[in-house]
A and B are shown apart, each in its own frame.
Chain A
């Protein structure tokens, strides 16, 4: 079962929930894998003492233009929907604008003169880690200065779900557009982490809208309850969206998190709460599939 932990708004506690949930799944004896899909800012691995096992580079297609063979016909320029080929025929100028290129290969297909050589560029990586107990972790990471997070998210999840685990926890990136949906479509159940504040509510609504558009089942964890107001609760009730749990706001939890420690390993109450969450997710997830 693939479980995505997601939220529209950043900083609602996705990583907090993912890491503590992972620990809880394991302590209850389930075979579980933790995957960091927030490739732009991955940090769920900070909470564990890990050794890197291996790294696979993620590459994206890039054309190399051979100026000797190019006849400056402009067809590649015309084919490129991303305006990534700078082309001034009068000056015999043609070049690739790398940061605009999406790697669709249309230019290469267009060229009738063999002037485009197929190549690729590294845009990120998928890494495997293990802790002292041989538990495995997977992390996708966008290379700094690169912009294409989607291919890395896809590759990360592909690698992760091919491993033999009963439960795969996918720590998603914030937002409601592409990166979020890429993780959501590959999940069996989605846990939305929301804050009971006006910003939190507005972003929760957008996440729900996105999930409804792809017909996915989900439940909500309200994080930092007690801080904020009741609007989020009203919204969930009106729309019949299940609340999986409420995690009360606590400076103690915030403190452990800031130190890179797992609250479930230090606070008995939080540990019990996550055990409940874990059982509920398994129940909700299985009743669907």
Chain B
């Protein structure tokens, strides 16, 4: 089974709760799909790591010696990626989407498409199984595509190693990386917190998620910080037929565990939070 943790809003405690689930699972493939800012490996440092290059896409470059300054590339580009700098046509790598239209149409073949290969894919063993994560090179686009690569590697390894369950720590937001994470997973847990922004983002996340799947669950983290908003979240979930599988209290120990390089389950197995997480785990994996 593939389970993904998502949140819409960042910083709701997605990675902390996801890593606690991984601790409960014991033998599992852990996947970090937040390729912009991967964190899971900090708690689960892998051994025997295999690092592979990932070509995240292509970028256009202009060879000035061949450019006749006709301006066709600039005219065709839908991404405003071609600028005239001191009389020369130049490509702004940040805006370039890699569509290659300029490359195909340049009358003097002055444009070349080059691979962006600074992104890395990591695979290794950790204390509860195997971990896969990616590191998109700074400012790179196409994180959605990268995430599908990370996920297909996870599935391959799951078959190869005979480890049935895959637990995914997802990216924040509801755009491209979110879509790539949610496509084809069996269940989703949305981690939220009781604040006005948390509630708004939860609704937006669930609205989009519901068009992909049925098995959506919610965990309210730090539910005791604002009981009023917690009630609003409860009402919203009830109306939309979404089961809340845990109410987790605010607890400084979660941060202490992280600093210790442990999950809350490992740090204090008998704490209230740990018990609640184990109960939530049972609901997800036994139903």
Contacts and interface: CB of A to CB of B under 8 A. Distances in A.
Interface of A: 8-13, 15, 39-41, 43, 46, 61, 79, 81-82, 99, 102-106, 109-110, 142, 144-150, 154, 173-182, 185, 195, 197-199, 202-203, 206, 209-210, 213-214, 227-229, 251, 254-255, 257-260
B208 A9 contact: no
Contacts of A203: 37, 39
B230 to A, nearest CB: 10
A10 B97 contact: no
B208 A174 contact: no
28 contacts: A8-B37, A10-B9, A12-B10, A12-B11, A41-B9, A43-B197, A43-B201, A61-B78, A79-B100, A82-B99, A109-B104, A142-B175, A147-B179, A148-B175, A174-B11, A177-B136, A177-B138, A177-B139, A197-B255, A197-B258, A198-B42, A198-B261, A202-B37, A206-B138, A213-B139, A251-B250, A258-B195, A260-B195
A274 B94 CA distance: 33
Contact of A46 (B139, B178, B200): B200
| Chain B facing A: main interface SS | loop
Contact of B139 (A103, A142, A210): A210
A13 B197 CA distance: 12
B194 A209 contact: no
Contact of B101 (A9, A46, A79, A174): A79
Given A10-B9, A106-B104, A174-B173, A81 B99 contact: yes
B197 A228 contact: no
Given A177-B138, A202-B39, A227-B255, 8 more contacts: A40-B175, A43-B9, A79-B100, A104-B79, A150-B141, A174-B36, A177-B140, A259-B229
A176 B118 CA distance: 14
Contacts of A185: 94
Nearest to A42: B200
Given A199-B15, A227-B252, A106 B201 contact: no
A112 B37 CA distance: 44
Interface residues of B, number: 63
Given A177-B143, A197-B259, A144 B207 contact: yes
Contact of B10 (A11, A197, A227, A259): A11
Contacts of B94: 181-182, 185, 214
Given A178-B141, A209-B138, A173 B225 contact: no
Contacts of A259: 195-196, 226, 228-229
The listed residue with most B CB atoms (<10 A of its CB), out of A11, A142, A180, A182, is A11
B174 interface: yes
B76 interface: yes
Contacts of A227: 252, 255
Given A227-B255, A258-B225, A178 B104 contact: no
B174 A41 contact: yes
Given A106-B99, A199-B15, A214-B94, A41 B207 contact: no
A106 B176 contact: no
Contact of B225 (A15, A104, A154, A255): A255
Given A46-B200, A197-B259, A206-B138, A10 B10 contact: yes
B12 A109 contact: no
A177 B36 contact: yes
B120 interface: no
B8 A210 contact: no
Given A109-B76, A175-B37, A258 B172 contact: no
Q: Closest 7 interchain pairs by CB?
A: A11-B11, A10-B10, A104-B99, A258-B195, A260-B196, A210-B138, A40-B173
Given A8-B37, A197-B259, A198-B42, A105 B101 contact: yes
Contacts of B173: 40-41, 149, 173-175, 179
Given A177-B138, A258-B229, A260-B196, A109 B176 contact: no
Contacts of A8: 36-37
A208 to B, nearest CB: 9
Contacts of A175: 36-37, 171-173
B172 A15 contact: no
Interface in B169-208: 171-176, 178-179, 193-198, 200-201, 204, 207-208
Contacts of A103: 78
A110 B104 CA distance: 9
Contacts of B198: 258
A84 to B, nearest CB: 11
A199 B42 contact: yes
B10 A174 contact: yes
Contacts of A255: 225-226
B257 to A, nearest CB: 10
